[in-house]
Homo-oligomer: A and B are copies of this chain.
Amino acid sequence: MVGGAKVDVSKPEFSRQFQKDFETLLKWRRDVRRFKTDPLPEGALEHLLHLADLAPSVGNSQPWRIVVVEAPEKRAEVIASFEAENEEAAKHYNDDKAQLYRQLKLAGLKEAPVHLAVFSDDDPEQGYGLGRATMHETLAYSTVSMVHTFWLAARAEGIGVGWVSILDPDLVAKVLQVDASWRLVAYLCVGFPEEEHIDPELERARWQSRSPLETRLFRR
């Protein structure tokens, strides 16, 4: 109470060290496709899901619906969908690009100890529709924020995440018997990575390098 000044101790200030480490986290977050089969530590998944649940959502609607896929026969159906769609995708490339495509490892579904199917409810009661009258897709975008939060939180604990999108989303919804208003946003493989890299696998495999930000930045 010296000087009578009231100090608000609750509002956090983030240190320069935290800001630097956060940049390191962003640089080392990778889409992981090579997993160890070791299980996650007890409680780790639940902890990460609680952190991810802090993500922003339109109208505070929290539209994400998370399915932990455990049944081996359900996982097998998802893997079969990936293999079929991946083969279909390969057919659309020519010559060298087709050959390179087939060499890419695009999912770690067989090895990853945890599978999460993340859906977005297209018509949640929560939020009373606020903020999405002209941009209904902000519901799915909220769910993406939740997925991305999960991804970053996992990497901060040394846990890898791979986002698999080479799937038939309707088939996944059917296999998992979810509500008709749920739309698949992401299918995630989660586990400890076999290797860690600062550069994306698609860059190392010479599929696609990143390009400079300046090509994506405009002023009006």
Q: Which residues of A contact B (CB under 8 A)?
A: 10-15, 18-19, 21-29, 31, 49-51, 53-56, 58-62, 64-71, 74, 85, 88-89, 92-93, 97, 101, 104, 106, 117, 126-135, 137-138, 140-141, 144-145, 148-149, 151-153, 155-158, 163, 165-169, 176-178, 184-186, 196, 198, 200, 202-203, 207-211, 213, 216-220
Tell whether, in the assembled complex, residue A210 and residue B165 are in contact, meaning their CB atoms are under 8 Å apart. Answer: no
CB < 8 Å neighbour of A216 from B62, B70, B74: B62
Within 8 Å CB of A184, what residues of B?
135
Taking CB atoms, residues of chain B closer than 8 Å to A178 are: 218
Assembly CA distance A205 to B130 (angstroms) = 13
Copy total for this chain: 2
Question: How far apart are the CA atoms of A67 and B220 in the complex, in Å?
Answer: 7
Which one, B13, B71, B220, contacts A68 given CB within 8 A?
B220
A62–B211 contact, CB under 8 A?
A: yes
Chain B, Cβ-Cβ closest to A12? B24
With A51-B26, A67-B219 in contact, do A203 and B133 touch (Cβ < 8 Å)?
Answer: no
Cβ of A92: which chain B residues have Cβ within 8 Å of it?
A: 129, 133
8 Å CB contact of A208 from B12, B130, B137, B157: B130
Instruction: Please tell me if the beta carbons of A149 and B148 are within 8 angstroms of each other in the complex.
Output: yes
Most buried by B among A11, A60, A157: A60
Task: Give the residue of B13, B58, B68, B196 whose beta carbon is less than 8 angstroms from that of A158.
Answer: B13
With a cutoff of 8 Å between Cβ atoms, the chain B residues found around residue A209 in the complex are: 60
Contact of A66 (CB < 8 Å), options: B59, B61, B165, B218 = B218
Residues of B within 8 A of A69 (CB): 220
